[in-house]
Structure 1
Amino acid sequence: MESQVRGGGPAAAAAFPAGPAADGSEGAPRRSPGPQLRRRLPRADLRAVPEARRALRELLRHWERPDGTDVAELLTSELVTNALVHTDDDAILTATVSPRGLRVEVRDFVAQRPRPRVPEAAADSPDAAGPVCRPPR
């Protein structure tokens, strides 16, 4: 999911709901944000990916949904990797735990939105003609 963030470039975010509250209602009333992770990710430094996972794991150590931490780590790794590989600037990782769930956001500082690219297939590739329907081999 991408959204434009005020004062910066696009942001990618993922949210993980906390699930039903103890009283059976869905979620909890909004309160002030809980524990938060905020980390600057240096431009093109892929060493930041495992560091971000470790920091997120530490943040989630006391989260009430331990079954969701693996998914959260994986998706955070993807967001961080994409930000570092596809931009020419630093990025910011923010993860917030609240009674409603976990929100992970990765923001870069590039002013324009990225342009989608169409990958080029090699001439000798079976997919050189592009994605077409053909019978299996």
Structure 2
Amino acid sequence: MWVGVMAGEAREPTQLLRKVGCEDLTAVPEVRHALRKMLRTWGGPGASDVAELLISELVTNALVHTDHGAVVTATVVPDNLRVEVRDFVSAIPEPRVPIADDGTNGRGLVLVQELADSWGVEAHGVGKVVWFELNGRAA
């Protein structure tokens, strides 16, 4: 679901709001595609690529590590993007150094920590919000 529009003639959406069902990993590319569409004219070269990677990691984490769905919100203000992924499990995740022969698992929060301009985890009623911000410059 799209919410909000920018002022002016372009009428590009400024917010993405998506509910993701429990264990619905097909939602990951759908959320990534919706973000790409929203960020079509935002940021410097590579900025939207970083945003897509990081939103994919957070949505995947929420679906793989919880038994509930998630709510994804991405908001653009002129030079800033904030993405929030809310799930309904109160355990607070922490970045961990992945084990070398552990395939591709365990790198999501490390990528967020390294590539986002800022990020964090906040308790949110029943559950938590994991968020990141990008300022739109090239990666």
State the partner residue of 2:91: 113
State the partner residue of 2:14: 35
Out of 29, 34, 51, the position equivalent to 1:55 is 34
What secondary structure sits across from 2:23 in the alignment?
coil
State the partner residue of 2:23: 44
Gaps of 5+ in 1: 1-33, 117-124, 126-137
Gaps of 5+ in 2: 1-12, 95-100, 102-139
Question: Is it true that 1:78 corresponds to 2:53 in the alignment?
Answer: no
Q: How far apart, in 1, do the equivalents of 2:23 and 2:49 lie? A: 24
Aligned length: 85
Question: Is it true that 1:67 corresponds to 2:65 in the alignment?
Answer: no
Deviations 1:69-117 (A, max 9, x none): 101000110000000000111100100001241001100123x32577x
Out of 72, 78, 88, the position equivalent to 1:93 is 72
Q: How far apart, in 1, do the equivalents of 2:21 and 2:46 lie? A: 30
- Quote the offset at 1:64 in angstroms: 3.8
Aligned AA (1:38): L
| RMSD (Å) for aligned C-alpha atoms | 2.5
Task: Give the TM-score normalised by structure 2.
Answer: 0.54
* Bigger radius of gyration among the two: 1
Give me the identity figure in percent: 60
Q: How far apart, in 1, do the equivalents of 2:35 and 2:80 lie? A: 14
State the partner residue of 1:5: none
